[in-house]
Structure 1
């Protein structure tokens, strides 16, 4: 397939065409130079032969008959003329000298082509032989010579076009073969790219074709080996996470049950703050296990296309009402466009809404602003708070699992550093963009932009 833009393959195509163009230009230049050299060499040899009878008659009779001139013209297709020395000196001012061979000078004129000039012995006369132009009126030639001249010109014309056409056809053939080879390599690389895209989405069952030509076969084998290792690692990690969560939930359930039984058997311990701390710690551990499992599941499961049409406006308003119950002292400003729809899994968007809003409510001093805006290219979900904010050099780190910054946003304020990491995984699954910036309220502005038609 043809690739565009800054593609490597487009550069290869252009390089091939440029190389062939340069080769063609060099070929035309070299052949033109060789033809030029051979043309005037052939012209000199032909004029030597044509001039022999003319020069011989001049030496013997000190004249040249018109009949002999006609005969030479018919035989060699040269225009023969005699001019005196004065006219010759004026004549050479309008032509270019090519070379000197003995007493013969070869000139070049734009209209007359090559011209041969030689002085006649013991006289002020010059014998001039020049090419007969292809479009020249051939009245000076005999009928037989005119026919032969026309045939010779036609043959030269056909030969010239055959040579040029053959060269053009050869260059096109070479270009076609090279482009086909590049296309073939491109298709093989496309197969590797398709496999790598599938692996990036968690589909490790996709395998690269190892029957590709060398060295792509080794690259495909390396890709498959890497995919197998990643698949095995993901499965082992998933098994371990499931086992750890099960082993943790069992003692947590036992602790919960023991505390509840203790409160029933000894009601007076309900007022003991240590019992309340134990219940809270147990609940936090349960939340940690649940969030860890959610994070692991999102991280390793293969994405499943969900074409469910969601009403995000209604979902967001429902979540705000529920989440605000735990933060009744905070003011929540809403700017939610009506009927904001999107295609996806409702659980994923609930995770995004819950974790971002919880984070803002947790660290806000007094006010939180929540916006859900519908745009032409997609939707924008943004939450701002008036809390202490986050330093610019730490903003990207809060999307990492189990990361907590110092000062006010620490473990004592709750959380385990997994909520925003879950938001980041969901955003990447939908190819959404997360932007962290300073809020106009003074704290952090957390923005997630979803596009309707993300690039594949």
Structure 2
């Protein structure tokens, strides 16, 4: 179901409630007016019968004087009962008998209990006036005009508070998107409406706690990496001295293993420092001729290896980006593609009206779909086809992912029939 705009939702609810209220109000008013008309009819008739007895000295309705008196007062006497929509409504006691009132078209008709053969009802002129006063169309038009005026008033009064609330909700949406992009400096402005004020306060407190936690973690990571450099340098020096004194008690194989371990520790340290710096560095945008820039990197790699065939489909595209971060991204992806490819690596560069797409594809084993997100985490370990035994330490794709986030580049990894295809989507 398509989401409903909050303004129209609130307005619709209020409008529906208002229309129901107006309908109930008009029905109630109509009922009360009908009851009042019935009382007026009975009261007037009883008063006229009282005066008729005094004037005519007679109590029979079919008496000429009584009938004429009632006719002049807007009533008529008839021996016929009009059953159209006739419903017995009320009994009204008089001095000598009881007046029984029935409905009659738009008015009323009555009978005296002691004269069951004769009926008194509103005359045609009175009924016509009553019908005009109670015309359903006029009532509907009046109700429609009142409802339209009230709905317009409600719309005007609702517009500004709902507009303010919607702006705040848009700000909340932008803030959550910023958090998803790892921008933890975002904060919500205060809205003095409960519970939104509490929500803004809690959101800001959460963002502050996350930001402080990340700062502490980055400081700790940087400090640890820096502190590792000194013992590593000493270990490297001690190893160099040991290599000059190779004996039977110090076999060359063990020394080579130690050298490899120190190389790995230095690699971890350097990449950890690079990751921490990357998370705290603002991009510096410059103009880059992307097609020519990529061709230079591919040409260099063609000259360095003969085991892998490098294929390129490059368009001439100019972008504005941070060349240092872009170099880190592309070099790591090219290293991965070269490392895991069987025979061939293909680089494609295409563009459309809004975006630039760079694809780097190798014909290696690929990455299982269930492990794609894990592959982007620092020091992640995948299956046997792409793990640390092949030479990596699990920081290459983590560096790529962090740099892509800093530059606003969309990173996608997909397996196809030929291997892994990494797709970068950049803005012009």
Q: Map 1:3-402 onto structure 2 (within 5 A).
A: 5-6=3-4, 11-50=9-48, 52-53=50-51, 57=56, 59=59, 62-64=63-65, 68=69, 71-73=72-74, 80-85=75-80, 88=81, 91-92=82-83, 95-102=84-91, 104-109=100-105, 113-118=106-111, 125-130=118-123, 132=125, 173=153, 176-177=156-157, 180-187=160-167, 207-209=187-189, 212-252=192-232, 282-299=262-279, 301=280, 308-336=286-314, 338-402=315-379
Give the TM-score normalised by the residue count of structure 2: 0.74
Deviation at 1:360, TM superposition (A): 1.7
Paired residues, number:
408
> Secondary structure of the equivalent of 1:335?
strand
RMSD: 4.4
SS in 1 for 2:358: strand
Partner of 1:444: 420
Q: Distance in 2 between matches of 1:365 and 1:133?
A: 104
1:418-438 C-alpha deviation (Å, 9 max, x unpaired)? 111222233444555443332
Native 8 Å contact 1:201 1:302 kept in 2: no
Using the alignment, how far apart are the partners of 1:417 and 1:229 within structure 2?
28
Cα contact 2:109–2:119 (8 A) shared by 1:
no
Instruction: Indicate conservation of the 8 Å contact 2:413/2:421, yes or no.
Output: yes
Which secondary structure does the structure 1 equivalent of 2:87 belong to? strand
* Equivalent pair of 1:323/1:354 in contact (CA under 8 Å): no
Question: Which residue, out of 405, 409, 419, partners 2:382?
Answer: 405
Gaps of 5+ in 2: 92-98, 246-251
Tell whether the 8 Å contact from 1:307 to 1:344 is kept in structure 2 after alignment.
Answer: yes
CA contact (8 A) 2:338 2:362 kept: yes
Q: Which runs of 5+ in 1 are unaligned?
A: 74-79, 137-148, 267-271
Mapped partners of 2:375, 2:185: distance in 1: 33
Contact 1:202 1:302 in 2 (8 A): no
The answer to which of 201-210 and 17-26 deviates more is 201-210
Q: Which whole-Å deviations, capped at 9, do the CAs of 1:374-424 have from their partners, x for residues lacking one?
A: 134423322222222233322332122111223232212112111112222
374-383 or 414-423: bigger deviation: 374-383
CA contact (8 A) 2:15 2:151 kept: no
CA distance in 2, matches of 1:166, 1:372: 65
Give the whole-Å Cα distance in 2 for the aligned partners of 1:433 and 1:29.
62
When structure 1 is superposed on structure 2, of 247-256 and 361-370 the one drifting more is 247-256
Q: Deviations over 1:121-167 (max 9, x none)?
A: 7695533314746976xxxxxxxxxxxx9xx969xx99999998677
Displacement of 1:330 in angstroms is 0.8
Alpha carbons of 1:394 and 1:384: their partners in 2 closer, same or farther (altered >3 Å)? same
The superposition leaves residues 304-343 of structure 1 with CA deviations (integer Å, 9 ceiling, x where unpaired) of 5x6645433233223323344444311122233x233444
Cα distance change, pair 348–27 in 1 and its aligned pair in 2 (3 A): farther
Q: Are the structure 2 counterparts of residues 357 and 230 from structure 1 closer, same or farther at C-alpha, using a change threshold of 3 Å?
A: same
CA contact (8 A) 1:319 1:353 kept: no
Structure 1-normalised TM-score?
0.70
